[in-house]
Structure 1
């Protein structure tokens, strides 16, 4: 199977271009307008991007190689995901460093790009407000300069602490974790210490707290199969996420992948996964019992990955939770397994805690956050990492398969949480 993208002034023009190269048997998978960037985009005509797939029996070697384009930012794609030239894209989920995150060893201020300037402007603005407040309440001036421990902290650092607190709270980082970060800034503060030193310290601490992302581990030929099991509540996008990852593994990495679902409650979800399996030309099974799961393990013993979709359920549904646990334990007895708890970034923090705690009773898991494009406050990603201790594997930022998914990048999300541009 070949999956490519073509750009034209109209859908017809892009489709015709695809037919010229791939033939008349192409299948149009997605159509969307490309976002126009920059000042001169006002004078540019709208362009349409068409994603097509080709199922062919004859060999058709792919001669073009993927090359990172640091300047292009297609709509719906995470700019950290590797891309190709604008006329052709293969589904890739590997992360490439963005232009604003540079190699290790460089100064922290460079890694944060223009974030320092942004904070500096806000600090100066806040300092003006502080001067007005002090004029009205001169007796409070003395206490504002000292930390709870009595050590001197510069006005600049105090303004930074105030700004840091407000920025993280606005991004819905839990106040407990915000106070931990501001307390650490106070501990390292010294008279005359510039705020950018405190900023660098906070940035580094948050990145370290996130830790290294842990996506699906590569598997060598003959070492499989490994079960990749996806758990989580209803409506968070588990099925679409599985399709995106299956596309990466089977099309890009050329691995043998099988799709399995134990979600017999939602026919639409099973049919959706069946459709993706058909497009990707990989096997698909619906499982109704533990014995059938054992048979799947036997039938696909020569495969690399068996990707398992589970039924979404309320964290209070103990019966369904018990059924899912039985399937997972069966697979664990037969092969290596990795579990992924899929959560929506738009879910309330209190509900996320209940969901995560409920699944923690079943298995150890890694985190996948979906719908990142549907919220401006991404603090829950940090909150859940801190609450569960589970590594974040992927984020998704749209419905397009296979494009809208990326390996989690801690530096990028921390910059966003601190008020920088993502």
Structure 2
């Protein structure tokens, strides 16, 4: 048996050296913490002593291993580098001065056991991540072999529309199951129609009553800056005034943005609608009193950085009313999907479920709508596009939306 001693900063460093020197059949016989260096017993550094050994008789040659894809090698290399960095960084933590010899604990103390346990857990987590990556990679490779050309085209279309992988995979599985049930492959037109039908089924529960409630007297509009809340409020006010004959009033708390109050006041003058400005929740009772003769009050709130919980809570404080009310989250389709998801998560925590999407005319990517509806159980009310008041707004309709998402399917 060949035995070798290593003094290293952390166990992962020793594992690499042992594999290099003694081979993959080497075993670790013992580990313990030691102190090295210093001056006259002071300033000594903690190290780890590792004893490893390997049998002298060479092992029988094994059959050549199956070559892994380049992606796997890259992931394994990343894991090793991360492990080495983790081990190295653990030595930079300032340690308390050593205890006198008669008070030092014997080898195998709780601290060394805890560190060993943390190292083992780190390796387990990395192996689990590697396994999940391999499963995902295998599934992707299987898809390339088992999905028909028509399904691959549909999948590419949905990826271009930035639909989440979760929903794409769910749709692909459902389509494959439908084809297996009928024991045949769908033609292109039939496949896209089936996909449309399935996604319509997903959306339908959120679209039945997703309009401004007829019972709500106060409707608040919240959302990030620049999404078009003020223009949208003007469009809805025109619809309610001209088409439904309601007496509408405006409240704005958007006193942060330059000229925001003037913009809404301009719309109020054009539509002959009274408007009140509030600077804090204490101003709301007075504003409601001034508009008590109105059938419907539309309230514009300030657009802030809603990645911040503080800014979200500031807006939420303005949404309390003794009147029947509801709140609509306004989102721009030109925003990044990740940012939109964070904003949706912030507001849904406060029970806000209705959403209105703007700037439909400024994008050709519509997957974020379905992602947000399904991921956060949001109820879509309207789709807005352009600046024309009151024309550039329409109620959310599933079929019209799926036309845009699928590109009218069979013609795309």
State the match for 1:162 in structure 2. 152
Deviation for aligned residue 1:209: 1.6
Is contact 2:329–2:352 with CA below 8 Å preserved after alignment? no
Aligned counterparts of 1:206 and 1:385: Cα–Cα separation in 2: 12
Q: Is the 8 A contact 1:339 1:363 kept in 2?
A: no
Sort the Cα spacing of 1:234 and 1:210 in 2 relative to 1 into closer, same or farther, 3 A.
same
Superposed, 1:283-322 pairs within 5 Å as 283-322=274-313
Instruction: Give runs of aligned pairs for residues 211-360 of structure 1, distance below 5 A.
Output: 211=204, 212=207, 214-218=210-214, 226-329=217-320, 331=321, 334-360=322-348
Which consecutive unaligned segments of at least 5 residues does structure 1 have? Answer: 1-142, 148-156, 220-224
Question: Do 1:368 and 1:395's aligned partners in 2 also have CA atoms closer than 8 Å?
Answer: yes
Q: Is the 8 A contact 1:343 1:368 kept in 2?
A: yes
Match of 1:408 in 2: 396
C-alpha contact (below 8 Å) 2:359/2:386 kept by paired residues:
yes
Deviation at residue 144 of structure 1 after TM alignment: 8.3
By percentage of residues, which structure has more helix? 2
1:197 deviates by: 4.2
Q: Which piece of structure 1 moves more, 318-327 or 347-356? A: 318-327
- Tell me, in whole angstroms, the C-alpha distance in 2 between the residues paired with 1:301 and 1:348: 40
Task: Mark the structure with the bigger radius of gyration.
Answer: 2
> CA contact under 8 A between 2:281 and 2:317: conserved in structure 1?
yes
Number of the residue aligned with 1:383? 371
Tell me, in whole angstroms, the C-alpha distance in 2 between the residues paired with 1:209 and 1:144.
23
Residue aligning to 1:36: none
- Secondary structure of the residue aligned to 1:350 is helix
* Contact kept? 2:353, 2:377, Cα under 8 Å: no
Taking the aligned partners of 1:292 and 1:366, their CA distance within structure 2 comes to 26
Q: Which residue of 2 aligns with 1:209?
A: 202
Gaps of 5+ in 2: 1-141
| TM-score computed with the length of structure 2 as normaliser | 0.60
Q: Is the 8 A contact 1:258 1:282 kept in 2?
A: yes
CA deviation after TM superposition for structure 1 residue 303, in Å: 2.0
- Provide runs of 4+ in structure 1 moved above 4 Å: 143-147
Q: State whether structure 2 residue 177 is matched by structure 1 residue 181.
A: no
The alignment covers a number of residue pairs equal to 263
Q: Please state whether the residue corresponding to 1:303 is helix, strand or coil.
A: coil
Q: Secondary structure at the match of 2:286?
A: helix
- Deviations for 1:216-245, whole angstroms, at most 9, x for unmatched residues? 2335xxxxx611110000011000000100
Cα deviation 1:283-319 (Å, max 9, x = unaligned): 1010112232112223323321110000111123333
Deviation at 1:194, TM superposition (A): 2.9
Report if the CA contact (8 A) 2:220-2:327 is conserved: yes
Between the aligned partners of 1:144 and 1:356, the Cα distance in structure 2 is 32
1:192 corresponds to: 184
Aligned to 1:67: none
Q: Out of 368, 372, 379, which is 2:360 matched to?
A: 372
**1:394 aligns to what SS in structure 2?**
strand
Q: Tell me: CA distance 1:144–1:299, structure 2 relative to 1, closer, same or farther (3 Å).
A: closer
Asked if the contact 2:358/2:385 (under 8 Å) is kept, the reply is yes
CA distance, structure 1, for counterparts of residue 218 and residue 336 of structure 2 = 30
8 A Cα contact 2:330 2:356, kept in partner: yes
Which residue of structure 1 lines up, in the alignment, with residue 132 of structure 2? none
After superposition, the CA RMSD in angstroms is 2.1
Contact 1:341 / 1:368 at 8 angstroms: preserved in 2? yes
Contact 1:226-1:304 within 8 A present in 2 as well: yes
Paired residue for 1:12? Answer: none
Provide the secondary structure at the position in 2 that maps to 1:328.
coil
- Please report the TM-score for the alignment, with normalisation by the length of structure 1: 0.59
Q: Distance in 2 between matches of 1:144 and 1:363?
A: 39
How far is 1:146 from its partner? 8.0
Shift of 1:215: 2.0
CA distance in 2, matches of 1:391, 1:399: 24
